[in-house]
Amino acid sequence: MKQTIAKQRWLRLIPIAFITYSLAYLDRANYGFGAAAGLAKDLHITPGTSSLLGSLFFLGYFFFQVPGASYAEKKSAKKLIFWSLILWGGLASATGLITNIKLLFVIRFALGVVESAVMPAMLVFLSHWFTKAERSRANTFLILGNPATVLWMSIVSGYLLNSVGWRWMFIIEGLPAVIWAFIWWKLVDDKPKEAKWLTEEEKRDFEQQLEKEQEGLKAVKNYGEAFKSKPVILLSAQYFLWSIGVYGFVMWLPSIIKAAPNMDIVTTGWLSSVPYILAVVLMLAASYFSDKTLNRSGFVWPFLFIGAVAFYASYAIGTNHFWISFILLVIAGGAMYAPYGPFFAIIPEILPRNVAGGAMALINSMGALGSFVGSYIVGYLNGATGGFGASYIFMAGSLFLSALLTVWAVKAAKKESNRKSSGVKVTA
């Protein structure tokens, strides 16, 4: 029976979670392609303003993470994500209709606000449906929507831009989210006890299994107490620095590639997809072995360190050797994405359910702030220096520091766990 439940959950819920997050990522990441293909020119946007517009999404994304997680935990992740899908799809399509840069500022910020609830709500949702030994893989299949989307979006957007221009690209790519909202509403349930496709015995047994995992965790009264926890503070700082590297990379990779000699927009799209192929492979491998060993930090910090080294090596080689530099960027991109599943499995293993969602939201909000800083400063450095070397060093340094903070944070969690005699094992 347990095998049947496991199979049903993976086959039913994981594809839905993947598609939902994939659509969210599509509508936030295609701005980089639009900017590279005429949006900036048509609306007379300077490089500095374009950087601000690209990063403004993350400022809106920063402010509403914790309220979203709280609503998802206490009320309904299903309802929150339903309305978010409709609103962000509409806003994404509206980007293709604007002629006023002031409206573009409003849309980019509002898009961030609407999408801010998705990641914490989905993590809360998955924590209700998957056990500790499954959670890293479940998180990974969710977040695979990130690199997998950029992979196919890079190709599709390149062809759409070439065929119908940047306006129709935004309009066309925003519509699927609105349609998917109604499919999401029909297919998901917030918790196992609400699922009609499970028997009463299956529901009871699975809920008992989840409750048993909570027994080893000391109660934490509220979000305020959880947010003061040393591991949460360190992981927030770590994710801030990590996100600087990731989103500086995502937002500006098309522009970096397009700057190469004789590079057209379709070829740029194909080349921009390559790092995400490696990312998918590494994410699946890291999450699988992390769940098998219940080792989290050992599958986080080494990848971030490799990403930092690859970024710096790409800078050191320089633009005169484009293909070697590009291969190193592929390695950096893949390594940056690999640890997401193990990383987001850490918090539910060190904090009880009533505050774990809020803690993950706080960490993710700091990641959003890092994304804002990363996408803006990388764009600024590219414009100010007339090249990409300074931004490579900036991203490399951020990833290196995030690797160090990962080790520190998980060791702090282990010490705290031992001190409280919670019995929770987190391998540092």
Domain boundaries, the chain: 1-212, 222-416
Q: Which residues contact 199 (CB under 8 A, 6 or more apart)?
A: none
**pLDDT for position 424:** 44
Look-up: residue for tokens 């990779």?
253
**pLDDT for position 427:** 47
Strand, coil or helix: what is 82?
Answer: helix
Least confident of 267-281, 379-393, 400-414: 379-393
Mean pLDDT of 196-211: 84
Smallest CA-to-CA distance from 275 within 402, 387, 150 is with 150
> Is residue 40 over pLDDT 80?
no
Buried b / exposed e along 196-229 (16+ C-beta atoms within 10 A): eebeeebbeebeeebeebeeebeebeebeebbeb
Strand, coil or helix: what is 113?
Answer: helix
How does residue 394 score in pLDDT terms, banded at 50, 70 and 90?
A: confident
Token couple for 230: 């040393």
Dihedral (CA of 325, 327, 328, 333) sign: positive
Burial classification of residue 383, based on how many CB atoms lie within 10 Å of its CB (0-12 exposed, 13-18 middle, 19 or more buried): middle
Among 110-119, 141-150, 207-216, the range of highest mean pLDDT: 110-119
Token couple for 12: 């039913």
> Over the stretch 120-172, which tens digit does the pLDDT of each residue have?
899 889 988 988 888 889 989 988 887 778 778 777 888 888 888 889 999 99
> Is residue 198 over pLDDT 80?
yes
**For 1-212, which CATH superfamily applies?**
MFS general substrate transporter like domains (1.20.1250.20)
Token couple for 130: 């998957």
Residues 426 and 404: their CA atoms lie apart, in Å, by 17
**pLDDT for position 80:** 94
**pLDDT for position 395:** 83
Least confident of 128-132, 218-222, 391-395: 218-222
Domains 1-212 and 222-416 share a fold: yes
Q: Report the CATH fold assignment for 222-416.
A: Growth Hormone; Chain: A; (1.20.1250)
* Mean per-residue pLDDT over the chain, rounded: 83
Mean pLDDT of 329-335: 89
Task: Put residue 421 in one of left, alpha, beta given phi > 0 → left and psi -120 to 50 → alpha.
Answer: left
Instruction: State the distance between the two ends of the chain, measured CA to CA, in whole angstroms.
Output: 34
How does residue 104 score in pLDDT terms, banded at 50, 70 and 90?
A: confident
> Is residue 246 over pLDDT 90?
no
Yes or no: say if 48 and 383 are a contact pair by the CB < 8 Å rule: yes
> Is residue 218 over pLDDT 70?
no
Mean pLDDT of 170-197: 92
Least confident of 7-21, 126-140, 384-398: 384-398
Look-up: residue for tokens 């598609």?
19
Smallest CA-to-CA distance from 237 within 121, 38, 370 is with 370
Strand, coil or helix: what is 93?
Answer: helix
Residues 398 and 313: their CA atoms lie apart, in Å, by 15
At position 312, the amino acid (one-letter code) is Y
Map 318-372 to HEC letters: CHHHHHHHHHHHHHHHHHHHCCHHHHHHHHHHHCCHHHHHHHHHHHHHHHHHHHH
Mean pLDDT of 178-206: 90
Yes or no: say if 145 and 351 are a contact pair by the CB < 8 Å rule: no
Yes or no: say if 120 and 143 are a contact pair by the CB < 8 Å rule: no
DSSP state of 218: P
Mean pLDDT of 273-280: 86
Look-up: residue for tokens 């402010």?
63
> Over the stretch 288-327, which tens digit does the pLDDT of each residue have?
999 989 888 899 999 999 989 988 887 788 667 778 888 8
Token couple for 111: 């898009």
Among 107-111, 192-196, 300-304, 360-364, the range of highest mean pLDDT: 300-304
